Structure formats: structure tokens, C-alpha cells
Amino acid sequence: MPMITISIRMQKTLRTLWRYCWLSALTSVLLKAAYPQDKLDGHSYSSQATPAYTYRSGVSEVRLLFFAADKQNRVVDGLKRTDFAVLDNSWVVRDFRSLTRSGSVHLDVILLVDCSASVLPRFDREFRNAMNLVSQPGWRPEDNLSVLVFGGREVNLVCDGNCGNWFTSEHMAALPSGGATPLFDAVIAATDVLAQRRQFGRLPVIVVFSDGNDTISVASLHDAWKKIVASEELVYAVDVSGDSENSNGNSALRKMADDSGGRYLSLSEDPAELLKGIIGDLQSGLVVSYSVPETTAGFHSLRILPTHNLNLQFRSRRGYFYQAARPRQETLP
């Protein structure tokens, strides 16, 4: 009888032991799954065990300033999203993220004044026109206005910031005049100045008063053009030569202005109206944004065309440089 009792007791003990073993094995498996070895060892991540993460970032939105006019070149009011389509590298874009007026945008303007020998006979007139432009009532106190002069081998930023009152006869007399024309170097210098103080919601604009005949620049017309397109600045070129015929000078000015979405203006027309036109133009622009339809890196050509009314005419920059997403490898701290 006692023998039987012992064997029953032993069986019970063995069963209990078996349960403990089974339970401890299960607990250890669960613990390993919940807390990996490196956590249990040092309670911290090891940089060798954690893989470095690579992520890509890139701008996929295009913001495009444009101007709409009718056949008589009058500004079109009340333009809707459905009235136009953007051709981005020949792809038709009709799906826009936003469409706003540029009137609410503040301006960052650089006036580029040519002081070289080729414009010397007309320099007085050129200076007065620049003065008339800054005294137009359309400017707002928030707009930034700077003056950069060029002539000989020099390009000088003579006034930076709030230069509405800079155009005086004293300043005009003090300006160096004569020498060669470093127009393209001056345009590049202006784009650099604007790029340094670039802010979201501020439109960078260059107004060039020149005859367009560059004679000494280190940079070429192509370099200046590339810089303008890459920096997405608006160029208004005021041709002070008074030549109505095509020349190298006015075609260079026209190229820079047209491809930036700005305008080429000749002072052989009524200067007061032209200058008023620049201010009106800057306030009548529209800004449309959309996602890039094709992520090919490099130059993307741009054009805006009507969707219904073929009498509508659009002006915008002719393209932009798209940069592909750049990979960056980073390790978690």
C-alpha cells in the first residue's frame, strides 16, 4: 500500500516538473521574440546591428508664374483652372494643386543700370527712366528694391534694399561711366544677390536698362540665360539703344527676357507707358502649382496653352531645371 502511494506521489512530482520545464521554455521563446539580444545585453542599439537607412528627397512641385492676355494683349481677369493647360516637357498638365494671383506676392527687384561707353550718349535718359520706374505708384513698402550698376570691368551693387529714393542727380553724377559692357556678368551677379536672400512668397525680378551689347563679360549669353532659368527669376529688359532693327544686343536682351517669362521693352516706344506696364504686369500675374509629370532630370520645357478659347495668349518662363531626388544615407541615433 505504501509502495503504491510513493509511486503515485512520484508521478505527480514528475508531472509538475514537466509542466515547469515546458512553461520555462515557452517563456524564454516569448522573451527572445519580444526583446532581441542587443536590447537584453546592453539596453541600447548597436550601430553595427542596425542597418543604415537610405531615403530619397526631391522637389516634385512646380510653381509657375504666368500672364494671360487676349488677342489685343489686354490682361484677362477671372481666369479659371479649366481655361488653360501646362505643357511640361510636352506632357499636358490639367490637374493643378493651386492657382493664385501674384498681386499678393512681395517683390524683390534689382535694377541693372548700364553705365558703359556704348550707352553714354543716352545715359541721362536711361537714368531718368530708371528713376521714373521706381517712382511709379504701384510699388509697396514691403517690396525690396536694389540697384546694381555695370560699366568698364566693374559690377557694383550701389544700393541694397530700400532704394526708392536712391535715384538722385548727386548719385547719378557720382556713378562711374564709360568703358566696356559686362552685361552678362552683371546679370549673373544680380541673380546671385537675389538667390542669397531668396524667401518663399517673394518674387525675384531683374529690370535691365541696357543696349544689350556685351563687350567684356567672362560669362557668355548662354551662361547668363542658364543662370536666369535655374534661379527662376523674371527679367524685364529695357532696350535703351533705340534701334528698331534686330541687332545682337536686342536679341540677347529679348532672349533673356522672353525665356524668363518677362518682357523685352524698347525705349523707342512711349517710356512712361512701358514702365507703367512693368508694374501692371507684375501685379496681374498668376501662380499655378502642379506636380511634375515626368521625373527626368535636367531641363524641362514649359508652355501654357488654352483649353477652350484659342484667343487667349499666355506668357511664362520657357522651362526649368529639374533635379532628381538625391539619395542620403543616415543612421538612427
* Angle, vertex CA 253, rays to CA 250 and CA 254, nearest 5: 85
Q: Please check whether residue 66 is in contact with residue 290, taking contact to mean a CB–CB distance below 8 angstroms.
A: no
Q: Indicate the residue among 94 and 197 with the shorter CB distance to other proteins.
A: 94
Is residue 286 within 8 A of residue 75, CB to CB? The reply is no
The grid coordinates of residue 16 equal 509538475
- Least distance (Å) between residue 101 CB and other proteins: 23
To the nearest whole angstrom, how small is the minimum distance from the Cβ of residue 85 to other proteins? Answer: 4
Decide if residue 60 touches other proteins (CB under 8 A). Answer: no
Nearer to other proteins, 94 or 222 (CB): 94
- Shortest distance in whole angstroms from residue 313 CB to other proteins: 12
What is the distance between the alpha carbons of residues 79 and 99, in angstroms, rounded to a whole number?
A: 9
Closest to other proteins by CB, 43 vs 56, is: 56
Whole-number CA gyration radius for the chain:
33
Quote the strand ranges of 97-233, DSSP E: 98-101, 106-114, 144-151, 154-159, 202-210
By CB under 8 A, tell whether 80 contacts other proteins: no
Q: Which of residues 85-124 bind other proteins (CB under 8 A)?
A: 85, 87, 90-92, 94
Closest distance to other proteins from the beta carbon of 307 (Å): 4
**Closest CB to other proteins among residues 46, 311:** 311
Question: Could you tell me how many residues of this chain bind other proteins (CB under 8 A)?
Answer: 21
User: Treating both helix axes as pointing N-terminal to C-terminal, what angle do 221-231 and 183-196 enclose, rounded to 10 degrees?
Assistant: 20
Alpha-carbon distance values, 95 to 147, 174, 189, 285, 309 (Å):
39, 53, 37, 19, 18
- Asked if 327 is part of the footprint of other proteins (rule: CB under 8 A), the reply reads yes
Measured from the CB atom, the residue of 43 and 80 that comes closer to other proteins is 80
Q: Which grid coordinates belong to 256?
A: 533673356
CB of 215 to other proteins, least distance (A): 32
Q: How far apart are the first and last CA of the chain?
A: 70
Q: Which residues bind other proteins (CB under 8 A)?
A: 82, 85, 87, 90-92, 94, 294-297, 305-310, 324-327
